[in-house]
């Protein structure tokens, strides 16, 4: 019984270690994640976003569309953006038009998600700068999510199986102990 408990505990710990993620606090830069903010002129939305990004220690780059029109146009083409709405923020494969409290929350969630799964993060703007084709990456970005979901389902099923096995084993031992007590009380 002790052996089964020990093995089960090791398996459960192994499962949780596979799903655990490194935590990075707001006081340090996110290792690879970078926000690119395209703007044409300073306005209230841009200034609010800039203030938030500057205060949060997120790696960022501010790109004036008047000075970097070619990069801006390549980025719009890659993400299939038809309408200009600035500021335009790119974080990995995610785009954000304009700035509001909701946008700020969404950007923080994206940054945290990429930080928790750095394999998923791709610096699309850097690839565009290097004239790399990014269309396929933008279309296939969700495949890693499917693998993560599948892995988590397999781990959950494994944990449930172990718990059911342990529960049955404990109940079986209780019945044995009850039968032994009943037999000894009769004699």
**CATH classification number, 34-141, choose in 3.20.20.70, 3.40.50.880, 3.40.30.10, 2.40.50.140:** 3.40.30.10
Q: Which residue did the predictor score with more confidence, 21 or 68? A: 68
Q: Where are the domains of the chain?
A: 2-20+147-186, 34-141
SS (H, E, C) the chain: CHHHHHHHHHHHHHHHHHHCCCCCCCCCCCCCCEEEEEECCCCHHHHHHHHHHHHHCCEEEEEECCCCHHHHHHHHHHCCCCCCCCCEEEECCEEEECCCHHHHHHHHHHHHHHHHCHHHCCCHHHHHHCCCCCHHHHHHCCHHHHHHHHHHHHHHHHHHHHHHHHHHHHHHHHHHHHHHHHHHHHC
Query: Could you report the per-residue pLDDT of 85-114, keeping only the tens digit for each?
Result: 899 999 999 999 999 999 999 999 999 998
Query: Could you report the per-residue pLDDT of 37-57, keeping only the tens digit for each?
Result: 999 887 888 999 999 999 987
């Amino acid at each position: 019984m002790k052996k089964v408990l020990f093995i089960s505990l090791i398996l459960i710990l192994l499962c949780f270690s596979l799903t655990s993620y490194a935590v990075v606090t707001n006081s340090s830069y996110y290792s690879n994640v970078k926000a690119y903010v395209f703007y044409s002129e300073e306005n209230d939305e841009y200034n609010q976003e800039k203030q938030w990004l500057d205060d949060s220690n997120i790696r960022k780059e501010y790109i004036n569309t008047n000075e970097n029109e070619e990069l801006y146009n390549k980025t719009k083409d890659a993400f299939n953006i038809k309408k200009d709405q600035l500021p335009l923020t790119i974080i990995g494969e995610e785009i954000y038009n304009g700035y509001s409290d909701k946008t700020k929350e969404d950007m923080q969630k994206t940054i945290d998600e990429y930080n928790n799964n750095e394999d998923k993060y791709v610096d699309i703007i850097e690839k565009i700068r290097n004239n790399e084709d990014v269309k396929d990456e933008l279309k296939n970005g969700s495949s890693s999510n499917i693998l993560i979901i599948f892995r988590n389902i397999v781990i959950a099923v494994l944990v449930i199986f172990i718990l059911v096995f342990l529960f049955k084993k404990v109940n079986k031992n209780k019945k044995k102990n009850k039968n032994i007590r009943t037999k000894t009380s009769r004699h």
